[in-house]
Structure 1
Amino acid sequence: MEVTALCTRLTVNVLMLLSAQSAVSVHKTVTDAAFPHIDPNRLQFFEYESFSLNCAGLRGPTEWRVMTKVPSNTSQWETSTGSVKIKLAFVSHSGAYWCENRSGERTDSVNITVTAGDVILESPALPVMERHSVTLRCRKRATSSNLPADFFKDGHFSGTGYTGEMTIDSVSRSDEGSYKCRISVAGHSAESWLAVGAYNTPTLHGPTPQDTPPNDGEETPTPPSSPGSIQLSILLPVLFIILCVAGLLLVVGLLQCRKHRAACFSSETPTTGSEGSQNICTVNQHGTEADPETSCS
Protein backbone atom coordinates (compact mmCIF):
# COMPACT_ATOMS: atom_id res chain seq x y z
CA MET A 1 0.00 0.00 0.00
CA GLU A 2 2.84 2.40 0.80
CA VAL A 3 4.49 1.72 -2.56
CA THR A 4 1.18 2.25 -4.38
CA ALA A 5 0.59 5.57 -2.62
CA LEU A 6 4.14 6.69 -3.40
CA CYS A 7 3.78 5.77 -7.06
CA THR A 8 0.48 7.67 -7.25
CA ARG A 9 2.00 10.81 -5.75
CA LEU A 10 5.00 10.65 -8.08
CA THR A 11 2.78 10.16 -11.11
CA VAL A 12 0.66 13.19 -10.20
CA ASN A 13 3.78 15.31 -9.72
CA VAL A 14 5.18 14.27 -13.09
CA LEU A 15 1.90 15.10 -14.85
CA MET A 16 1.83 18.52 -13.20
CA LEU A 17 5.40 19.20 -14.29
CA LEU A 18 4.66 18.11 -17.85
CA SER A 19 1.62 20.41 -17.98
CA ALA A 20 3.65 23.33 -16.70
CA GLN A 21 6.44 22.68 -19.19
CA SER A 22 3.94 22.49 -22.08
CA ALA A 23 2.32 25.76 -21.04
CA VAL A 24 5.70 27.49 -20.86
CA SER A 25 6.67 26.08 -24.26
CA VAL A 26 3.45 27.29 -25.92
CA HIS A 27 3.68 30.73 -24.32
CA LYS A 28 7.33 31.12 -25.24
CA THR A 29 6.72 30.11 -28.86
CA VAL A 30 3.82 32.51 -29.28
CA THR A 31 5.65 35.39 -27.61
CA ASP A 32 8.96 34.90 -29.41
CA ALA A 33 7.26 34.60 -32.80
CA ALA A 34 5.50 37.97 -32.39
CA PHE A 35 6.71 41.41 -33.39
CA PRO A 36 5.16 44.88 -33.39
CA HIS A 37 3.69 45.70 -36.78
CA ILE A 38 5.20 48.68 -38.62
CA ASP A 39 3.44 50.61 -41.36
CA PRO A 40 5.05 50.97 -43.84
CA ASN A 41 6.82 47.63 -43.43
CA ARG A 42 10.46 48.74 -43.26
CA LEU A 43 13.10 49.59 -40.68
CA GLN A 44 14.62 52.82 -42.04
CA PHE A 45 12.98 56.23 -42.52
CA PHE A 46 14.04 59.70 -43.54
CA GLU A 47 13.54 62.52 -41.10
CA TYR A 48 10.06 64.09 -41.30
CA GLU A 49 8.53 60.91 -42.71
CA SER A 50 5.69 59.24 -40.80
CA PHE A 51 5.16 55.68 -39.63
CA SER A 52 3.03 53.81 -37.12
CA LEU A 53 3.41 50.80 -34.82
CA ASN A 54 0.76 48.56 -33.27
CA CYS A 55 0.40 45.29 -31.38
CA ALA A 56 -2.60 43.96 -33.27
CA GLY A 57 -3.25 40.23 -33.11
CA LEU A 58 -1.46 39.58 -29.82
CA ARG A 59 -3.39 37.85 -27.05
CA GLY A 60 -2.71 37.97 -23.35
CA PRO A 61 -4.24 38.49 -19.92
CA THR A 62 -3.95 42.28 -20.33
CA GLU A 63 -3.78 44.75 -23.17
CA TRP A 64 -0.56 44.97 -25.16
CA ARG A 65 1.18 48.30 -25.61
CA VAL A 66 4.03 49.58 -27.79
CA MET A 67 7.16 50.36 -25.80
CA THR A 68 10.55 51.91 -26.48
CA LYS A 69 13.34 53.12 -24.24
CA VAL A 70 13.83 56.88 -24.18
CA PRO A 71 17.53 57.80 -24.68
CA SER A 72 17.98 59.67 -21.40
CA ASN A 73 19.87 59.27 -18.15
CA THR A 74 16.68 58.57 -16.22
CA SER A 75 15.97 55.36 -18.18
CA GLN A 76 12.28 56.19 -18.37
CA TRP A 77 9.93 54.17 -20.51
CA GLU A 78 7.67 55.64 -23.13
CA THR A 79 4.45 53.64 -23.22
CA SER A 80 1.26 53.84 -25.15
CA THR A 81 -1.77 51.64 -25.53
CA GLY A 82 -3.09 50.62 -28.91
CA SER A 83 -1.17 51.95 -31.91
CA VAL A 84 1.50 54.62 -32.00
CA LYS A 85 1.52 57.11 -34.86
CA ILE A 86 4.66 59.17 -35.44
CA LYS A 87 3.68 61.88 -37.89
CA LEU A 88 7.07 63.62 -38.05
CA ALA A 89 9.98 61.30 -37.42
CA PHE A 90 13.23 62.61 -35.99
CA VAL A 91 16.58 60.98 -35.37
CA SER A 92 15.60 60.74 -31.69
CA HIS A 93 12.85 58.28 -32.66
CA SER A 94 15.51 55.72 -33.64
CA GLY A 95 15.75 52.69 -31.38
CA ALA A 96 14.19 49.41 -30.37
CA TYR A 97 10.40 49.00 -30.20
CA TRP A 98 8.46 46.05 -28.84
CA CYS A 99 5.06 45.06 -27.45
CA GLU A 100 4.52 44.37 -23.75
CA ASN A 101 1.60 43.85 -21.38
CA ARG A 102 1.18 44.50 -17.67
CA SER A 103 1.99 40.88 -16.86
CA GLY A 104 5.53 41.39 -18.12
CA GLU A 105 5.15 39.33 -21.32
CA ARG A 106 6.92 40.91 -24.27
CA THR A 107 7.62 40.26 -27.92
CA ASP A 108 10.87 40.47 -29.83
CA SER A 109 11.96 43.99 -30.65
CA VAL A 110 12.49 45.72 -33.99
CA ASN A 111 15.21 48.34 -34.46
CA ILE A 112 14.01 51.41 -36.33
CA THR A 113 16.48 53.90 -37.79
CA VAL A 114 15.52 57.49 -38.62
CA THR A 115 18.30 59.19 -40.54
CA ALA A 116 19.13 62.75 -41.51
CA GLY A 117 21.21 61.42 -44.41
CA ASP A 118 20.22 61.10 -48.05
CA VAL A 119 20.07 57.28 -48.44
CA ILE A 120 18.01 54.59 -46.75
CA LEU A 121 17.70 50.84 -47.22
CA GLU A 122 14.15 49.56 -47.47
CA SER A 123 14.11 46.08 -45.95
CA PRO A 124 11.18 44.24 -44.32
CA ALA A 125 10.67 44.75 -40.61
CA LEU A 126 9.23 41.26 -40.07
CA PRO A 127 11.21 38.03 -40.66
CA VAL A 128 11.15 36.59 -44.17
CA MET A 129 10.23 32.93 -44.39
CA GLU A 130 12.70 30.45 -45.82
CA ARG A 131 12.12 29.60 -49.51
CA HIS A 132 10.34 32.92 -50.05
CA SER A 133 11.84 35.82 -51.98
CA VAL A 134 12.62 39.30 -50.71
CA THR A 135 13.57 42.53 -52.44
CA LEU A 136 15.85 45.14 -50.89
CA ARG A 137 15.62 48.70 -52.19
CA CYS A 138 18.13 51.51 -51.93
CA ARG A 139 16.40 54.90 -52.05
CA LYS A 140 17.71 58.46 -52.24
CA ARG A 141 15.93 61.29 -50.51
CA ALA A 142 13.65 63.51 -52.60
CA THR A 143 13.89 61.48 -55.78
CA SER A 144 11.54 59.04 -57.43
CA SER A 145 14.07 57.59 -59.87
CA ASN A 146 15.83 54.32 -59.22
CA LEU A 147 19.57 54.91 -59.09
CA PRO A 148 22.18 52.13 -59.30
CA ALA A 149 23.20 50.94 -55.84
CA ASP A 150 25.71 48.59 -54.26
CA PHE A 151 24.51 46.26 -51.53
CA PHE A 152 26.54 44.91 -48.62
CA LYS A 153 25.91 42.05 -46.17
CA ASP A 154 27.82 41.93 -42.88
CA GLY A 155 30.27 44.50 -44.27
CA HIS A 156 31.03 42.53 -47.46
CA PHE A 157 30.01 43.47 -50.98
CA SER A 158 26.99 41.42 -52.02
CA GLY A 159 26.02 42.77 -55.44
CA THR A 160 24.98 45.74 -57.54
CA GLY A 161 21.40 46.61 -58.35
CA TYR A 162 21.31 48.78 -61.47
CA THR A 163 17.71 49.72 -60.74
CA GLY A 164 18.38 50.30 -57.05
CA GLU A 165 17.03 46.87 -56.04
CA MET A 166 18.44 43.51 -55.09
CA THR A 167 16.20 40.44 -54.97
CA ILE A 168 17.07 37.31 -53.01
CA ASP A 169 15.24 34.28 -54.36
CA SER A 170 14.48 31.29 -52.15
CA VAL A 171 15.73 32.84 -48.92
CA SER A 172 17.73 30.58 -46.58
CA ARG A 173 19.26 30.92 -43.15
CA SER A 174 22.56 31.95 -44.69
CA ASP A 175 20.89 35.12 -46.03
CA GLU A 176 20.17 36.39 -42.52
CA GLY A 177 22.41 39.25 -41.52
CA SER A 178 23.07 42.98 -41.45
CA TYR A 179 22.52 44.80 -44.77
CA LYS A 180 23.26 48.29 -46.04
CA CYS A 181 23.44 49.97 -49.45
CA ARG A 182 25.36 52.75 -51.17
CA ILE A 183 24.51 55.15 -53.99
CA SER A 184 27.69 56.63 -55.41
CA VAL A 185 26.29 60.14 -55.89
CA ALA A 186 24.50 60.30 -52.52
CA GLY A 187 26.27 58.18 -49.90
CA HIS A 188 25.42 55.04 -47.97
CA SER A 189 22.58 53.97 -45.74
CA ALA A 190 22.55 52.74 -42.17
CA GLU A 191 22.59 48.99 -41.45
CA SER A 192 19.45 46.97 -40.79
CA TRP A 193 19.05 43.35 -39.76
CA LEU A 194 17.27 41.00 -42.15
CA ALA A 195 15.69 38.19 -40.13
CA VAL A 196 14.84 34.80 -41.67
CA GLY A 197 12.10 32.60 -40.20
CA ALA A 198 12.11 28.81 -40.29
CA TYR A 199 10.13 27.16 -43.06
CA ASN A 200 7.05 25.29 -41.84
CA THR A 201 6.19 22.08 -43.67
CA PRO A 202 2.86 22.66 -45.46
CA THR A 203 -0.16 20.62 -44.38
CA LEU A 204 -2.20 18.37 -46.66
CA HIS A 205 -4.85 21.05 -47.04
CA GLY A 206 -4.38 24.44 -48.60
CA PRO A 207 -1.76 25.76 -51.05
CA THR A 208 1.95 25.46 -50.33
CA PRO A 209 4.24 28.49 -50.41
CA GLN A 210 5.51 27.38 -53.83
CA ASP A 211 1.95 27.45 -55.16
CA THR A 212 1.39 31.03 -54.02
CA PRO A 213 2.24 33.51 -56.78
CA PRO A 214 4.69 36.32 -55.96
CA ASN A 215 3.20 39.67 -54.99
CA ASP A 216 5.11 41.84 -57.49
CA GLY A 217 8.19 42.11 -55.34
CA GLU A 218 6.34 42.90 -52.12
CA GLU A 219 7.37 40.96 -49.05
CA THR A 220 5.11 38.10 -48.11
CA PRO A 221 3.96 38.38 -44.49
CA THR A 222 5.41 35.78 -42.20
CA PRO A 223 2.94 33.16 -40.97
CA PRO A 224 3.08 32.63 -37.21
CA SER A 225 5.04 29.71 -35.87
CA SER A 226 3.12 26.72 -34.61
CA PRO A 227 2.60 27.14 -30.85
CA GLY A 228 2.54 23.39 -30.34
CA SER A 229 6.13 22.84 -31.34
CA ILE A 230 8.15 21.23 -28.54
CA GLN A 231 11.74 22.28 -28.28
CA LEU A 232 14.68 20.14 -27.27
CA SER A 233 15.27 22.32 -24.21
CA ILE A 234 11.81 21.26 -22.96
CA LEU A 235 12.20 17.54 -23.74
CA LEU A 236 15.48 17.15 -21.87
CA PRO A 237 14.17 18.24 -18.43
CA VAL A 238 11.07 16.08 -18.89
CA LEU A 239 13.19 13.05 -19.81
CA PHE A 240 15.41 13.70 -16.78
CA ILE A 241 12.36 13.79 -14.48
CA ILE A 242 11.01 10.53 -15.91
CA LEU A 243 14.37 8.78 -15.42
CA CYS A 244 14.60 10.04 -11.82
CA VAL A 245 11.09 8.77 -11.05
CA ALA A 246 11.82 5.39 -12.65
CA GLY A 247 15.04 5.05 -10.63
CA LEU A 248 13.27 5.97 -7.40
CA LEU A 249 10.52 3.42 -8.05
CA LEU A 250 13.14 0.74 -8.74
CA VAL A 251 14.96 1.44 -5.47
CA VAL A 252 11.70 1.40 -3.49
CA GLY A 253 10.68 -1.87 -5.14
CA LEU A 254 14.00 -3.54 -4.32
CA LEU A 255 13.79 -2.43 -0.69
CA GLN A 256 10.24 -3.76 -0.36
CA CYS A 257 11.26 -7.07 -1.99
CA ARG A 258 14.18 -7.53 0.42
CA LYS A 259 11.93 -6.72 3.38
CA HIS A 260 9.33 -9.24 2.21
CA ARG A 261 11.91 -12.01 1.70
CA ALA A 262 13.41 -11.42 5.16
CA ALA A 263 9.97 -11.71 6.75
CA CYS A 264 9.35 -15.01 4.92
CA PHE A 265 12.63 -16.53 6.08
CA SER A 266 12.10 -15.48 9.70
CA SER A 267 8.61 -17.12 9.82
CA GLU A 268 9.79 -20.59 8.74
CA THR A 269 10.25 -23.35 11.52
CA PRO A 270 13.72 -24.92 11.39
CA THR A 271 13.77 -28.75 10.98
CA THR A 272 16.39 -30.65 12.94
CA GLY A 273 17.16 -34.26 13.74
CA SER A 274 16.16 -33.96 17.43
CA GLU A 275 12.67 -35.35 16.86
CA GLY A 276 14.03 -38.47 15.20
CA SER A 277 16.64 -38.92 17.80
CA GLN A 278 14.05 -38.82 20.57
CA ASN A 279 12.19 -41.77 19.02
CA ILE A 280 15.24 -43.93 18.54
CA CYS A 281 15.68 -46.35 21.35
CA THR A 282 18.48 -48.69 22.01
CA VAL A 283 17.96 -52.44 22.17
CA ASN A 284 19.55 -54.40 24.96
CA GLN A 285 21.59 -57.46 24.45
CA HIS A 286 18.57 -59.79 25.07
CA GLY A 287 16.64 -58.18 22.12
CA THR A 288 14.12 -56.45 24.32
CA GLU A 289 13.38 -52.79 24.24
CA ALA A 290 14.97 -50.92 27.09
CA ASP A 291 13.38 -48.35 29.29
CA PRO A 292 12.80 -45.19 27.33
CA GLU A 293 14.06 -43.04 30.12
CA THR A 294 17.42 -44.86 30.18
CA SER A 295 17.96 -46.11 26.66
CA CYS A 296 16.48 -43.42 24.42
CA SER A 297 18.86 -40.67 23.52
Structure 2
Amino acid sequence: MLFPDVHSAASLTVSPDRVQHFTSDSVSLTCEGNFTEWRVRKFSEDGRLYSDCRRMTGSTCNINTSKSDTAVYWCESGSGEFSSAVNITVQNDGNGPILVSPVHPVTEGASVSLSCSLRTQKILSNVFFYHNDKLIQNDTRGELKISAVSKSDEGFYKCQYSGRESAQSWMSVKGADSSSSPVWLIVGLVCGVSLIIILLLLLYRCRQSKCKSLFSVFIIIIIFIIIISSSSRSINIDISLNICHG
Protein backbone atom coordinates (compact mmCIF):
# COMPACT_ATOMS: atom_id res chain seq x y z
CA MET A 1 0.00 0.00 0.00
CA LEU A 2 1.31 3.44 -0.91
CA PHE A 3 1.90 6.13 1.70
CA PRO A 4 2.74 9.38 -0.11
CA ASP A 5 5.24 11.86 1.30
CA VAL A 6 3.60 14.22 3.79
CA HIS A 7 6.24 16.88 2.96
CA SER A 8 5.25 16.92 -0.71
CA ALA A 9 4.32 20.14 -2.52
CA ALA A 10 0.95 18.50 -3.28
CA SER A 11 -1.92 18.39 -0.79
CA LEU A 12 -5.45 17.01 -0.58
CA THR A 13 -8.42 18.68 1.13
CA VAL A 14 -11.74 16.99 1.84
CA SER A 15 -15.10 18.75 2.11
CA PRO A 16 -16.90 18.16 4.44
CA ASP A 17 -13.73 17.83 6.52
CA ARG A 18 -14.41 14.53 8.28
CA VAL A 19 -13.48 10.87 7.91
CA GLN A 20 -16.95 9.32 8.09
CA HIS A 21 -19.85 10.05 5.74
CA PHE A 22 -23.35 8.75 5.09
CA THR A 23 -24.33 7.06 1.84
CA SER A 24 -25.40 9.51 -0.89
CA ASP A 25 -23.41 12.35 0.71
CA SER A 26 -21.71 14.81 -1.64
CA VAL A 27 -17.99 14.79 -0.89
CA SER A 28 -15.32 16.84 -2.69
CA LEU A 29 -11.65 15.91 -2.76
CA THR A 30 -9.52 18.79 -4.03
CA CYS A 31 -5.87 18.56 -5.06
CA GLU A 32 -3.74 21.63 -4.37
CA GLY A 33 -0.27 22.63 -5.51
CA ASN A 34 1.56 24.30 -8.40
CA PHE A 35 0.64 21.66 -10.95
CA THR A 36 -1.71 21.67 -13.94
CA GLU A 37 -2.61 17.98 -14.16
CA TRP A 38 -4.13 15.97 -11.33
CA ARG A 39 -5.61 12.58 -10.65
CA VAL A 40 -7.20 11.29 -7.46
CA ARG A 41 -6.25 7.72 -6.71
CA LYS A 42 -7.77 5.36 -4.17
CA PHE A 43 -7.00 2.05 -2.52
CA SER A 44 -10.29 0.33 -1.68
CA GLU A 45 -11.26 -2.03 1.15
CA ASP A 46 -11.14 -5.01 -1.21
CA GLY A 47 -7.51 -4.27 -2.10
CA ARG A 48 -8.07 -2.68 -5.51
CA LEU A 49 -6.15 0.36 -6.75
CA TYR A 50 -8.19 2.88 -8.75
CA SER A 51 -6.33 5.45 -10.84
CA ASP A 52 -9.09 7.83 -11.90
CA CYS A 53 -12.01 9.66 -10.33
CA ARG A 54 -15.41 9.08 -11.91
CA ARG A 55 -16.29 12.80 -11.75
CA MET A 56 -13.16 14.93 -11.97
CA THR A 57 -13.63 18.68 -12.54
CA GLY A 58 -10.31 20.47 -12.79
CA SER A 59 -8.44 19.53 -9.64
CA THR A 60 -11.56 18.39 -7.72
CA CYS A 61 -13.01 14.90 -7.53
CA ASN A 62 -16.73 14.89 -6.66
CA ILE A 63 -18.18 11.77 -5.06
CA ASN A 64 -21.79 10.83 -4.36
CA THR A 65 -20.86 8.36 -1.66
CA SER A 66 -21.70 4.68 -1.57
CA LYS A 67 -20.26 1.86 0.53
CA SER A 68 -17.72 1.10 -2.21
CA ASP A 69 -16.21 4.57 -1.71
CA THR A 70 -14.74 3.53 1.65
CA ALA A 71 -11.03 3.75 0.80
CA VAL A 72 -7.70 5.52 1.19
CA TYR A 73 -7.38 8.51 -1.18
CA TRP A 74 -4.50 10.68 -2.36
CA CYS A 75 -3.63 13.12 -5.14
CA GLU A 76 -1.01 12.58 -7.81
CA SER A 77 0.21 15.32 -10.13
CA GLY A 78 1.16 14.83 -13.76
CA SER A 79 4.82 15.15 -12.78
CA GLY A 80 4.55 12.42 -10.13
CA GLU A 81 4.13 14.47 -6.92
CA PHE A 82 1.97 12.83 -4.25
CA SER A 83 -0.12 14.32 -1.47
CA SER A 84 -0.53 12.72 1.93
CA ALA A 85 -3.21 10.02 2.04
CA VAL A 86 -6.58 10.31 3.81
CA ASN A 87 -9.16 7.76 4.91
CA ILE A 88 -12.80 8.01 3.88
CA THR A 89 -15.38 5.72 5.54
CA VAL A 90 -18.99 5.48 4.33
CA GLN A 91 -21.62 4.47 6.90
CA ASN A 92 -23.91 1.84 5.40
CA ASP A 93 -26.50 2.01 8.20
CA GLY A 94 -28.74 4.95 7.32
CA ASN A 95 -30.17 5.09 10.86
CA GLY A 96 -26.86 4.84 12.70
CA PRO A 97 -24.56 7.67 13.81
CA ILE A 98 -21.24 8.73 12.34
CA LEU A 99 -18.25 10.08 14.22
CA VAL A 100 -17.23 13.57 13.09
CA SER A 101 -13.42 13.59 13.32
CA PRO A 102 -10.65 15.38 11.37
CA VAL A 103 -9.35 13.88 8.14
CA HIS A 104 -5.75 15.04 8.59
CA PRO A 105 -3.41 14.48 11.56
CA VAL A 106 -3.80 16.86 14.51
CA THR A 107 -0.72 18.76 15.71
CA GLU A 108 0.46 18.21 19.28
CA GLY A 109 -0.70 21.06 21.51
CA ALA A 110 -3.61 22.00 19.24
CA SER A 111 -7.26 21.64 20.23
CA VAL A 112 -9.71 19.28 18.54
CA SER A 113 -13.41 18.49 18.89
CA LEU A 114 -15.08 15.20 18.01
CA SER A 115 -18.84 14.86 17.74
CA CYS A 116 -21.55 12.38 16.82
CA SER A 117 -24.08 12.99 14.06
CA LEU A 118 -27.16 11.39 12.52
CA ARG A 119 -28.26 11.90 8.94
CA THR A 120 -31.39 13.69 10.20
CA GLN A 121 -29.85 15.36 13.26
CA LYS A 122 -26.44 17.01 13.23
CA ILE A 123 -26.20 18.01 16.90
CA LEU A 124 -26.67 15.25 19.48
CA SER A 125 -26.47 15.11 23.27
CA ASN A 126 -26.02 12.23 25.71
CA VAL A 127 -23.34 10.71 23.50
CA PHE A 128 -20.81 8.12 24.65
CA PHE A 129 -17.28 8.47 23.28
CA TYR A 130 -14.71 5.69 23.16
CA HIS A 131 -10.94 5.79 22.67
CA ASN A 132 -9.42 2.43 21.71
CA ASP A 133 -12.68 0.77 22.89
CA LYS A 134 -12.41 2.42 26.33
CA LEU A 135 -15.28 4.68 27.43
CA ILE A 136 -13.86 8.17 28.03
CA GLN A 137 -16.96 10.41 28.17
CA ASN A 138 -20.60 9.62 28.91
CA ASP A 139 -22.25 12.84 30.08
CA THR A 140 -24.79 15.18 28.48
CA ARG A 141 -22.23 16.93 26.30
CA GLY A 142 -22.51 16.20 22.60
CA GLU A 143 -18.84 16.86 21.87
CA LEU A 144 -15.55 15.40 22.98
CA LYS A 145 -13.15 18.33 23.32
CA ILE A 146 -9.40 17.91 23.74
CA SER A 147 -7.86 21.29 24.54
CA ALA A 148 -4.21 20.30 24.04
CA VAL A 149 -3.66 17.17 21.99
CA SER A 150 -0.78 14.88 22.95
CA LYS A 151 0.63 11.72 21.40
CA SER A 152 -1.35 9.64 23.91
CA ASP A 153 -4.58 10.91 22.29
CA GLU A 154 -3.73 9.12 19.06
CA GLY A 155 -5.82 6.04 18.33
CA PHE A 156 -9.24 4.75 17.34
CA TYR A 157 -12.36 6.72 18.28
CA LYS A 158 -16.05 5.95 18.01
CA CYS A 159 -19.30 7.30 19.43
CA GLN A 160 -22.52 5.73 20.66
CA TYR A 161 -25.98 7.27 20.62
CA SER A 162 -29.26 5.62 21.69
CA GLY A 163 -27.62 2.20 21.69
CA ARG A 164 -26.18 2.55 18.17
CA GLU A 165 -22.45 2.81 17.54
CA SER A 166 -20.59 4.57 14.77
CA ALA A 167 -17.72 2.97 12.94
CA GLN A 168 -14.35 3.69 14.53
CA SER A 169 -11.85 6.06 12.94
CA TRP A 170 -8.15 6.55 13.55
CA MET A 171 -7.02 10.00 14.71
CA SER A 172 -3.34 10.67 14.05
CA VAL A 173 -1.23 13.10 16.07
CA LYS A 174 1.86 14.72 14.59
CA GLY A 175 4.66 16.49 16.44
CA ALA A 176 4.75 20.27 16.55
CA ASP A 177 7.42 21.96 14.42
CA SER A 178 10.37 22.79 16.62
CA SER A 179 12.43 25.93 16.14
CA SER A 180 15.96 25.49 14.89
CA SER A 181 17.23 28.61 16.72
CA PRO A 182 18.50 26.75 19.85
CA VAL A 183 20.58 24.53 17.57
CA TRP A 184 22.24 27.55 16.01
CA LEU A 185 22.85 29.09 19.43
CA ILE A 186 24.70 25.93 20.43
CA VAL A 187 26.69 26.06 17.18
CA GLY A 188 27.55 29.70 17.90
CA LEU A 189 28.69 28.84 21.42
CA VAL A 190 30.91 26.02 20.16
CA CYS A 191 32.41 28.33 17.50
CA GLY A 192 33.08 31.02 20.12
CA VAL A 193 34.85 28.60 22.46
CA SER A 194 36.88 27.23 19.55
CA LEU A 195 38.00 30.72 18.52
CA ILE A 196 39.04 31.53 22.10
CA ILE A 197 41.16 28.38 22.15
CA ILE A 198 42.74 29.39 18.83
CA LEU A 199 43.54 32.86 20.24
CA LEU A 200 45.18 31.35 23.31
CA LEU A 201 47.25 29.04 21.10
CA LEU A 202 48.36 32.00 18.97
CA LEU A 203 49.37 33.96 22.06
CA TYR A 204 51.24 30.94 23.40
CA ARG A 205 53.13 30.48 20.11
CA CYS A 206 53.93 34.18 20.09
CA ARG A 207 55.33 33.90 23.60
CA GLN A 208 57.33 30.78 22.69
CA SER A 209 58.90 32.60 19.76
CA LYS A 210 59.71 35.50 22.10
CA CYS A 211 57.27 37.78 20.35
CA LYS A 212 57.20 40.61 22.86
CA SER A 213 55.86 43.27 20.57
CA LEU A 214 52.59 44.69 21.85
CA PHE A 215 51.78 45.58 18.25
CA SER A 216 51.83 41.87 17.27
CA VAL A 217 49.50 40.97 20.14
CA PHE A 218 47.22 43.85 19.15
CA ILE A 219 47.05 42.56 15.55
CA ILE A 220 46.15 39.07 16.81
CA ILE A 221 43.32 40.50 18.94
CA ILE A 222 41.99 42.54 15.99
CA ILE A 223 41.98 39.41 13.80
CA PHE A 224 40.15 37.54 16.56
CA ILE A 225 37.46 40.26 16.81
CA ILE A 226 36.95 40.24 13.02
CA ILE A 227 36.54 36.45 12.99
CA ILE A 228 34.05 36.58 15.89
CA SER A 229 32.05 39.34 14.17
CA SER A 230 31.91 37.45 10.86
CA SER A 231 30.88 34.24 12.62
CA SER A 232 28.11 36.05 14.51
CA ARG A 233 26.70 37.59 11.32
CA SER A 234 26.76 34.20 9.60
CA ILE A 235 24.88 32.56 12.47
CA ASN A 236 22.27 35.36 12.52
CA ILE A 237 21.72 35.00 8.78
CA ASP A 238 21.29 31.24 9.12
CA ILE A 239 18.76 31.70 11.94
CA SER A 240 16.80 34.25 9.87
CA LEU A 241 16.71 31.94 6.87
CA ASN A 242 15.49 29.07 9.02
CA ILE A 243 12.72 31.22 10.51
CA CYS A 244 11.64 32.41 7.04
CA HIS A 245 11.50 28.90 5.59
CA GLY A 246 10.32 27.13 8.74
* TM-score, L = length of structure 2: 0.62
Match of 2:52 among 70, 78, 98: 78
Q: Once the 2 structures are TM-superposed, how far is the Cα of residue 203 of structure 1 from its aligned partner?
A: 9.4
Indicate the larger mover: 65-74 or 158-167: 65-74
Deviation per residue, 1:235-291 (Å, 9 max, x gap): xxxxxxxxxxxxxxxxxxxxxxxxxxxxxxxxxxxxxxxxxxxxxxxxxxxxxxxxx
Query: 1:38–1:125: 8 Å Cα contact kept in structure 2?
Result: yes
Question: Relative to total residues, which structure has the larger strand share, 1 or 2?
Answer: 2
Residue type of the alignment partner of 2:136: S
What 5-or-longer segments of structure 2 have no aligned partner? 182-242
Measured in 2, the distance between the counterparts of 1:169 and 1:71 equals 33
Which residue does 2:91 correspond to in 1?
115
Q: Once the 2 structures are TM-superposed, how far is the Cα of residue 108 of structure 1 from its aligned partner?
A: 2.1
SS in 2 for 1:124: coil
Query: 1:54–1:84: 8 Å Cα contact kept in structure 2?
Result: yes
Report the RMSD for the aligned CA atoms in angstroms: 3.1
Q: Once the 2 structures are TM-superposed, how far is the Cα of residue 140 of structure 1 from its aligned partner?
A: 2.2
Match of 2:125 among 147, 151, 158: 147
Q: Once the 2 structures are TM-superposed, how far is the Cα of residue 193 of structure 1 from its aligned partner?
A: 1.4
Pair 44,227 (structure 1): closer, same or farther in 2 beyond 3 Å? farther
Pair 227,49 (structure 1): closer, same or farther in 2 beyond 3 Å? farther
Pair 161,40 (structure 1): closer, same or farther in 2 beyond 3 Å? farther
Pair 43,125 (structure 1): closer, same or farther in 2 beyond 3 Å? same
**Is 1:188 matched up with 2:165?**
yes
Query: 2:10–2:77: 8 Å Cα contact kept in structure 1?
Result: no
SS in 1 for 2:7: helix
Q: Once the 2 structures are TM-superposed, how far is the Cα of residue 75 of structure 1 from its aligned partner?
A: 4.7
Which residue does 1:24 correspond to in 2?
none
Measured in 1, the distance between the counterparts of 2:47 and 2:172 equals 31
Measured in 1, the distance between the counterparts of 2:137 and 2:48 equals 43
Which residue does 1:94 correspond to in 2?
70
**Is 1:129 matched up with 2:107?**
yes
Deviation per residue, 1:160-193 (Å, 9 max, x gap): 25232100111111111111111134x1111111
What 5-or-longer segments of structure 1 have no aligned partner? 1-26, 205-225, 230-297
SS in 1 for 2:52: strand
SS in 2 for 1:182: strand
Query: 2:22–2:92: 8 Å Cα contact kept in structure 1?
Result: yes
Structure exhibiting the larger radius of gyration computed from Cα positions: 1
**Is 1:163 matched up with 2:141?**
yes
Which residue does 1:37 correspond to in 2?
13
Residues 172-183 of structure 1 correspond to what in structure 2 (within 5 A)? 172-183=150-161
Which residue does 2:216 correspond to in 1?
none
* TM-score, L = length of structure 1: 0.52
Query: 1:30–1:227: 8 Å Cα contact kept in structure 2?
Result: no
Query: 1:139–1:164: 8 Å Cα contact kept in structure 2?
Result: no
Which residue does 2:38 correspond to in 1?
64
Pair 168,70 (structure 1): closer, same or farther in 2 beyond 3 Å? closer
Residue type of the alignment partner of 1:78: D
Query: 2:99–2:115: 8 Å Cα contact kept in structure 1?
Result: yes
Query: 1:179–1:192: 8 Å Cα contact kept in structure 2?
Result: yes
Q: Once the 2 structures are TM-superposed, how far is the Cα of residue 152 of structure 1 from its aligned partner?
A: 1.2
Measured in 1, the distance between the counterparts of 2:75 and 2:7 equals 13
Residue type of the alignment partner of 1:66: V
SS in 2 for 1:174: helix
